[in-house]
């Protein structure tokens, strides 16, 4: 029976979709193998690991989980059921994060096709958003999308948002005093048309008042007024192990694709989580779960896509 893995064009379609996922500092820290043309293996690329700010590999797992969700959608829209195995060989192959086997033939649903078509349209926007609140019905859809992947999207009220913005600002101040952290951030904040990293055109202007709702990459251009009331949400998981991080990535990407369908933009304020990981502090378990991502949501202007590694590079990783 024909499968997408029978031809190079089919393989390329799957891997290009996976490679469109969001990733920490746009490191795109994944690589793929298609052994025997029977399944697709997703690996963490050790050369793209953020050694300073991600010592546990949590952010890398979340990023690869987002790529895994895209890969699942690509398989599903190709008319096959994806059978996913997380961390299939943790002792012998710790960098092998997931294996996706193509299961029985099954027609793609309208939802699967819609989400797959939105993969190239999703953006990370650090620009100022409009002073327009996200309707409760849309927020409910975003929470449902996260829950379908085993995570929880916790939306914050006005006071919770203010407290978290202050916490993010304090974490950023502490991180800015770490020389190794600044060097790593600079290495992935690029100028010019490269294939990875946070491109110069994707940076935000400096916020006209504190605390800022966007991350400071040390290279902001100009100053701007951001939305009066930023809308923040925290993505949490029941546990805080590698499998949970992979589930968080899948939940994040599903939620972002649903957000894109509604014209909702997103960026991230993960400085407190980076600081926690770097200082090797244990995350106190909250009744709502372990925080994995801090997300700013809202309606913003169109922004260009961040650079992506070319398909030829992804194919070169095949064995």
Give yes or no on whether 4-120 and 136-298 have one common fold. yes
Architecture of domain 136-298: 3-Layer(aba) Sandwich (3.40)
Residue spans of the domains in the chain: they are 4-120, 136-298
Q: Which of 134, 81, 132, 84 is nearest to 109 (CA)?
A: 81
Q: Are 151 and 251 in contact (CB under 8 A)?
A: yes
Sign, Cα dihedral of 260, 124, 69, 255: negative
Residues sharing a CB contact under 8 Å with residue 112, sequence separation 6 or more, in sequence order: 73, 76, 77
Q: What is the mean pLDDT of residues 215-222?
A: 81
Instruction: Pick the more confident residue, 38 or 77.
Output: 77
pLDDT at 315: 58
The model scores a pTM over 0.85: yes
The CATH number that domain 4-120 falls under is 3.40.109.10
DSSP 3-state of 246:
helix
Is the pLDDT at 220 greater than 90? The verdict is: no
What is the chain's mean pLDDT, rounded?
A: 92
* 68: its two tokens: 């895994």
Instruction: Pick the more confident residue, 198 or 192.
Output: 198
* 43-52, 105-114, 134-143, 187-196: segment of lowest average pLDDT: 187-196
Distance CA 273, CA 199 (A): 23
pLDDT at 253: 98
Q: What is the mean pLDDT of residues 35-52?
A: 92
């Amino acid at each position: 029976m024909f499968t997408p893995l029978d031809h190079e064009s089919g393989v390329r379609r799957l891997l290009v979709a996976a490679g469109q996922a969001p990733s920490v500092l746009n490191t795109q820290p994944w690589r793929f193998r298609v052994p025997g043309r029977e399944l697709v293996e997703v690996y963490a690329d050790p050369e793209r690991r953020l050694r300073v700010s991600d010592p546990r590999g949590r952010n890398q797992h979340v990023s690869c989980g987002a790529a895994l969700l895209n890969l699942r959608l690509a398989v599903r829209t190709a008319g096959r059921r994806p059978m996913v195995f997380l961390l299939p060989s943790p002792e012998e192959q710790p960098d092998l994060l997931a294996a996706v086997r193509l299961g029985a033939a099954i027609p793609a649903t309208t939802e699967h096709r819609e989400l797959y078509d939105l993969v190239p349209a999703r953006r990370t926007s650090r620009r100022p958003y409009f002073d327009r609140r996200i309707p409760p019905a849309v927020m409910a859809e975003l929470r449902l999308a996260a829950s379908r992947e085993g995570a929880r999207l916790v939306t914050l009220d006005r006071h919770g948002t203010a407290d978290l913005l202050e916490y993010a600002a304090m974490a950023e101040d502490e991180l800015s005093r770490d020389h190794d952290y600044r060097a790593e951030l600079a290495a992935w904040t690029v100028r010019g048309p490269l294939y990875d990293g946070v491109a110069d055109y994707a940076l935000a202007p400096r916020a006209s008042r504190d605390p800022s709702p966007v991350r400071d990459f040390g290279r902001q251009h100009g100053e701007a007024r951001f939305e009066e009331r930023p809308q923040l949400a925290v993505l949490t998981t029941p546990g805080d192990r590698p499998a949970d991080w992979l589930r968080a990535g899948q939940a994040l990407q599903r939620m972002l694709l649903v957000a894109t369908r509604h014209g909702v933009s997103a960026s991230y304020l993960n400085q407190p989580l980076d600081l926690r990981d770097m200082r090797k502090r244990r995350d106190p378990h909250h009744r709502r779960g372990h925080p994995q991502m801090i997300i700013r949501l809202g309606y913003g202007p169109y922004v260009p896509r961040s650079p992506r590694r070319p398909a030829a590079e992804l194919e070169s990783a095949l064995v």
